[in-house]
């Protein structure tokens, strides 16, 4: 059985449609609520790490002191060749933990915005994908990272680091209740901006199936890579 640690940073920002993918496989998931100051695991306690989104920024250590410890274990997990997926804030934390800048973009990007594949390493996604975006911050690339997608205002919508680490700026895990959950995190409602869609546009469900298919294809690829890694470890033991 593979053990999956889920780093959660806010109520309602969980793994979404990934729940069904993991449900019929030999995985054990354990969620750690960083925002509730729950103790973090050591890298020996998990095989996979899922780092989810949140309303805070990766550089908010003065406000959220637990970010320091979280970035430390993310770096340790990367260096230990764990299988890692970071989404939105999670992707930004991967970048930050590996020394890359996370910065405030010129515009917020909120809604179903098209992204374009820029590298074939992301063979799990179509050439154009329309996922849910909900971010102001963006990341630069860590050393050795391969960017694989961009959008109109976000130069790096994701990157691959090594063989086992994927950082996404967008929310492939979105499902029917995701938009409501995200809106509930902000009492002021939707911000204003050229790349902020209306509630009517944001509550559409027409892109969910495409996102689910892309996400499941990515997870299958990650799982295959993890299986090869396990075989390699077993061979080295014998």
Say which CATH number the domain at 195 has: 3.40.50.880
Q: What is the pLDDT of residue 225?
A: 77
Q: What is the pLDDT of residue 234?
A: 42
Kind and range of the H or E run holding 225: helix 208-237
Residues for the chain: how many in total? 238
Q: What is the CA radius of gyration of the chain?
A: 17
Task: With CA atoms as reference, report the closest residue to 27 among 162, 218, 176, 219.
Answer: 219
pLDDT in tens, 32-72: 999 999 999 999 999 999 999 999 999 999 999 999 999 99
Cα separation, 105 vs 151, in Å, equals: 12
Q: What is the pLDDT of residue 235?
A: 42
Domain total in the chain? 1
Model confidence, pTM: 0.94
Task: With CA atoms as reference, report the closest residue to 172 among 206, 137, 133, 200.
Answer: 133
Residue numbers of the domain that contains 170: 2-237
Q: What is the pLDDT of residue 230?
A: 58
* Contact indicator for 135, 169 with CB cutoff of 8 Å: yes
Per-residue pLDDT of the chain (238 residues; tens, 9 = 90+): 999 999 999 999 999 999 999 999 999 999 999 999 999 999 999 999 999 999 999 999 999 999 999 999 999 999 999 999 999 999 999 999 999 999 999 999 999 999 999 999 999 999 999 999 999 999 999 999 999 999 999 999 999 999 999 999 999 999 999 999 999 987 777 888 999 999 999 999 999 999 999 999 999 999 997 655 554 444 445 5
How many angstroms separate the Cα of 38 from the Cα of each of 49, 53, 55, 195? 16, 17, 18, 35
């Amino acid at each position: 059985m593979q053990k999956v640690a889920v780093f959660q940073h806010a109520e309602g920002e969980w793994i979404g449609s990934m729940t069904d993918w993991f449900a019929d496989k030999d995985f054990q998931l354990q969620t750690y609520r960083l925002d509730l100051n729950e103790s973090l695991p050591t890298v020996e306690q998990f095989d996979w790490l899922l780092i989810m989104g949140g309303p805070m920024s990766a550089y908010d250590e003065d406000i959220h002191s637990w970010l320091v410890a979280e970035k430390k274990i993310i770096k340790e997990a990367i260096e230990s060749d764990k299988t890692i997926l970071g989404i939105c804030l999670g992707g930004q934390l991967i970048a930050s933990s590996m020394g890359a800048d996370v910065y405030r973009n010129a515009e917020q990007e909120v809604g179903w915005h098209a992204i374009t594949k820029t590298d074939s390493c992301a063979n799990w996604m179509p050439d154009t994908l329309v996922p849910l975006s909900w971010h102001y911050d963006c990341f630069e690339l860590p050393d050795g990272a391969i960017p694989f997608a961009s959008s109109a205002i976000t130069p790096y919508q994701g990157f691959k680091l090594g063989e086992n680490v994927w950082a996404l700026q967008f929310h492939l895990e979105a499902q029917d209740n995701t938009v409501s959950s995200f809106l509930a995190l902000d009492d002021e409602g939707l911000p204003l901006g050229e790349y902020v869609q209306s509630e009517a546009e944001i509550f559409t469900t027409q892109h969910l199936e495409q996102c689910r298919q892309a996400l499941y294809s990515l997870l299958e690829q990650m799982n295959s890579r993890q299986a090869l890694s396990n075989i390699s470890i077993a061979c080295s033991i014998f």
